[in-house]
Amino acid sequence: MHGKRMLRRHASKSLILVMLAIGTACQKKEPPPPPPPEIPVVSPIQRDQPILLEAIGETMGSVDIPIRARVEGYLEGMFFDEGWPVEKDQLLYTIDPQPFEAAVVEARGQLAEARTMLAKAKSDLDRIRPLAEMKAVSEQDLDGAVAEYEAAIGAVQAAEARVEQKEIELGYTRIHSPIDGRIGLSEAKVGEFVGRQPNPVILNYVSQANPIRVRFSIDERQYLQFARQFIELRNADDSKDIADIRAARGGQTPLELVLSDGTVHDQQGFIVAYDAAVNPTTGTFRLEADFPNPDNVVVAGQFARIRGVSETLEDAILVPQRCIQEQQGLFSVFVVTDDGTVELRPVQPGYKVDQLQVIDSGLDAGERVVFEGVQRLRDGMKIVPTPVQIDDTGAPVEDSPAAGG
């Protein structure tokens, strides 16, 4: 019994000591919360923003005409320098004419025979008709003579058409240039059989490269913008001449042609043709632009970039692209209030310009937007905003806190 009392006293003392220790610990001050983090922020840029149209295109002649072998035969002659200018109606190729000359002779012989038969049929009819009037021959004999005469007329007409056809085919053995232009490399050499697959049918191309035409594609948004401009111009102009409308509109939208070596063609171009519909597979819309090319520096088949101002947004709001978050197709930025609280704000982004992006809605000039560190933030959090200066492209200037980030 005495031992049990001793154990109870010892346990009571231990419990008292534990409670005293807990009470002492509770009386100690809790550590202060960490200070709000310093977060770089920027002010949106507000300015009239030209929107550049940039697209990859392929050059082609403003006129590209294939030179075809319209009859079959062996190529007999070439009468041009490949890659050099040719004139309209200049002889380019000849195909062996002998088979076609023989066909013409044969057709003319058939025509002569048909004319002889016609003369005989007419003579027979002239002889039988008076006899028929005197009832010396039957009506059946007269009808037969008339039928033979009419058939002979038809035979002559068919023979004349055959002669004309064979003479045309003979003419096809001499192939001339349909336009002034530059001729390319020949697809066939002298001695080759041409005019029937798998042998060459298209022998060459003659192109007019002044102006040079460039075909390129734009996205649906750019197409809608061009379409609205066209409608505005058409409504403002009483002229119904599509060429006048295109020329006036082209004057509003000059384009540059950037060649494959990075140089810019020294002549501006204008849009002259549009496709009829947006391609449903690619979501793009095809256009064509003409560029003066007096020295024929640019040739068909080159790849080049089209560049120009498609529109100017007045008082546009722009922020660096890194400020914008995207989640499941929804876009937002962190806006910093006057007391340093961050607010997650939905926005509607527009065009991208260098490192900036136009904000179509959701943000006003004069507000502050988090520039970096958005992953560490949550809506309603307090921060210490650190202003960052950015240049016209959206890059931080060297003296700014985020310039090295």
Q: What is the mean pLDDT of residues 179-198?
A: 92
What domains appear along the chain, each with residue ranges and CATH number?
38-49+314-387 (2.40.420.20), 53-60+209-313 (2.40.30.170), 70-96+173-200 (2.40.50.100), 98-171 (1.10.287.470)
Cβ atoms of 61 and 324 closer than 8 Å: no
pTM of the model: 0.61
Residue 237 has pLDDT above 90, yes or no: no
pLDDT digits (tens, 9 = 90+) for 253-280: 788 999 988 899 999 998 888 888 888 8
Percent of residues, the chain, with pLDDT higher than 90: 51
Strand (E) or helix (H) holding 184: none
Residue 184 has pLDDT above 50, yes or no: yes
> Dihedrals φ, ψ of 212, to 5°?
-90, 140
Neighbours of 148 (CB within 10 A): 17
Residue 240 has pLDDT above 50, yes or no: no
Q: What is the mean pLDDT of residues 92-96?
A: 97
Helix orientation angle between 242-252 and 220-236, rounded to the nearest 10 degrees = 120
pLDDT digits (tens, 9 = 90+) for 130-151: 887 888 878 888 888 889 999 9
Reference 76, options 192, 187, 200, 201; nearest CA is: 192
Strand (E) or helix (H) holding 231: helix 220-236
Q: What is the mean pLDDT of residues 163-172?
A: 96
Quote the tokens at residue 200.
Answer: 């060459």
Cβ atoms of 373 and 329 closer than 8 Å: no
pLDDT digits (tens, 9 = 90+) for 353-367: 889 999 999 999 999
Rounded CA-CA distance 60/211 in Å is 10
247, 287, 310, 283: CA torsion to nearest 10: 150
Q: Identify the band that residue 19 occupies on the pLDDT scale cut at 50, 70 and 90.
A: low
Q: How far apart are the first and last CA of the chain?
A: 77
Span of 87-96, 183-192, 289-298 with lowest mean pLDDT: 289-298
Quote the tokens at residue 262.
Answer: 């990075």
Residue 388 has pLDDT above 70, yes or no: yes
Q: What pLDDT does 65 receive?
A: 92
pLDDT digits (tens, 9 = 90+) for 34-51: 788 899 999 999 999 988
Cis, bond preceding 198 (omega within 30 deg of 0): yes
Q: What pLDDT does 319 receive?
A: 95
